Amino acid sequence: MINRFYLKDYLSFREVDIEFEKGLVVFTGPSGAGKSILMNSFLALFGLSEAKAALSETLLDNRINNEAFGIESDDDIVIKEIKKDKIRYFLNNQTVSKKNLQEFSKSLIKHLHLKDTSDFESSKLVAALDTIAAKEDKEFNEIKTAYETVYEALKTTQNELTKIYNDEKKLEELKEFATYEIQKIEALNPKEDEYEELNQIKKTLSKKDKIEEAITLAQPIFEYSSAVSKALELLDKDSSFFDESMNELNNVFETFSDSLYELEDLDIESVLDRIEKLSSLQKRFGSIKEALEYKEQKKKELDSYDNISFEKSQLEKKKIKLEEELTLLAKSLHQKREVSALTLEISVNKYLEYLYLSNAKISLVPKEFDITGCDDVCFELNGVNLDTISSGEFNRLRLALLTSMSQFQIVDDGILFLDEIDANLSGKESDAIATVLKELAKKYQIFAISHQPQLTASADQHFLVDKVDGNSFVKVLNKDERVNEISRMISGENITSEAYEFAKNLVL
């Protein structure tokens, strides 16, 4: 349960510091005072809403072990959110991502909002049945994982077969294209470093005349080499360094001359033409290496086209085997979900007794295979589809469903957040909802925003949210203050004696 909550600088709230008790905690107050803003700040601390406060913090009394987050039962939990240049979350002073905070919170917290009617969608109901099954049947998760694995394998096999079927229709065209691409590259027969080598030859030939002229001008240096060597000897200096340098220089000149000799028979026009073709190849593929890799890829494709009939046969056999396996696993899932559906149905009908409704029926209907199986969930009340029931019946049925699901989705002593769950209901319906929540509050700490006196009067702790001079505040009410607030809810700002007496009797 939440023991304490602190909030600083969030819209109309400057600062809030409140402590909570077990059971049903209700927030009331005039419209626009900030009740929903306050609720949003609670949810933001658990990663269930967008964080907007400069600082918020909550202290929880823990009843679970969570090895992943290093938390043991009976450890206090402190969750903090700070917003400066960015939003940061802390769990027991350790930085935690919003995603991990949501993962940590999912077994502790549930938010019920009647404006969101998606809980009756088949996909969510299937997920709820799976949660129940996983808690009550140790084999369920293994079967579900096996089903998902086989389903993905079947999907991959079907995609491969579809490609083969499409390839078969245009097989000759694909063969011709692959052959053309291979021949086009092989006709050029490029080598990986050839483009660079040819460009170096082109560069050398372009400077040939200038280099020859320069070498010719430098040749007389060799005529004086013996004189230099003799001078060094007379100076008692070792002339080996000079001799080596002259030999190296001579080798450089001769190497260039030899290279020119080798290039004498070279057709410069063919070199330029080759460079142009290689350049075109590089522009298309990025490099000669990538062009050669593309050629090998096309060769493999050509081989695969020749083997397409064999591959198709193998894949078709694999598909049949996977379909048979998937059908058996889906049947197992269906059988276990039927047990879960009955469990959930019994629980929903138990709560419906408090809500003056009965005869909810949850059944599974077949659908095409998908990642969840072959089950859609059909929900009926008194034998009719939910589209035909009244809004009051729908809201009460949804409360029964959500409270039932909470038993399987969060732990005992977990926390429920209810946002205006009794809005637009009659007195009888509001009284029924108050009865259910009072019963639920024996197992959970419940935070509710209410506009109805029945639920407010049932609260174990009642807070007033109000606004003065544009600043919102939160105040815990004593018994007399509760009577006054409930009287306001009944008759408005001008409290009548009848409203006051009615409120007084409710609180008693």
Helix (H, G, I), strand (E, B) or coil at 7: strand
Of 260, 433, 237, nearest to 352 (Cα)? 433
Q: What is the largest CA-CA distance in the chain?
A: 134
Please measure the distance between the N-terminal and C-terminal CA atoms of the chain and give it in whole angstroms. 26
Judged against a pLDDT cut of 90, whether residue 487 lies above it is answered with yes
Predicted local distance difference test score (pLDDT) of residue 116 = 66
How far apart are alpha carbons 75 and 498 in whole angstroms? 49
Judged against a pLDDT cut of 80, whether residue 208 lies above it is answered with no
Could you tell me if 344 and 119 are in contact, meaning their C-beta atoms sit under 8 angstroms apart?
A: no
When pLDDT is cut at 50, 70 and 90, the band that residue 118 belongs to is: confident
Average pLDDT score over the chain: 87
According to DSSP, the β-strands at 109-113 and 415-419 are parallel
Predicted local distance difference test score (pLDDT) of residue 347 = 92
Judged against a pLDDT cut of 80, whether residue 237 lies above it is answered with yes
Judged against a pLDDT cut of 90, whether residue 7 lies above it is answered with yes
Residue 351 CB neighbours (<10 A):
23
How far apart are alpha carbons 422 and 437 in whole angstroms? 11
Highest CATH level, class, for 2-143+331-507: alpha beta
**Which distant-in-sequence residues (6+ apart) come within 8 Å of 196 by Cβ?**
none
Segments making up each domain of the chain, as ranges: 2-143+331-507, 171-308
Predicted local distance difference test score (pLDDT) of residue 55 = 94
Residue 426 CB neighbours (<10 A):
10
Read off the pLDDT of each residue in 450-478 and give the average, rounded to a whole number.
93
**Which distant-in-sequence residues (6+ apart) come within 8 Å of 341 by Cβ?**
129, 362, 363, 364, 377
Angle among Cα 42, 43, 46 to the nearest 5 degrees reads: 105
Torsion (CA) 398, 400, 21, 507 in degrees, nearest 10: 90
What's the pLDDT tens digit per position in 240-280?
Answer: 888 888 888 888 887 777 666 656 666 677 778 888 888 88
Read off the pLDDT of each residue in 471-496 and give the average, rounded to a whole number.
91
Predicted local distance difference test score (pLDDT) of residue 163 = 87
How far apart are alpha carbons 358 and 381 in whole angstroms? 7
- In this prediction the pTM is 0.62
What's the pLDDT tens digit per position in 157-196?
Answer: 999 999 888 877 777 788 888 889 999 988 888 888 888 8
When pLDDT is cut at 50, 70 and 90, the band that residue 402 belongs to is: confident
How far apart are alpha carbons 358 and 494 in whole angstroms? 40
Read off the pLDDT of each residue in 447-459 and give the average, rounded to a whole number.
90
When pLDDT is cut at 50, 70 and 90, the band that residue 319 belongs to is: very high
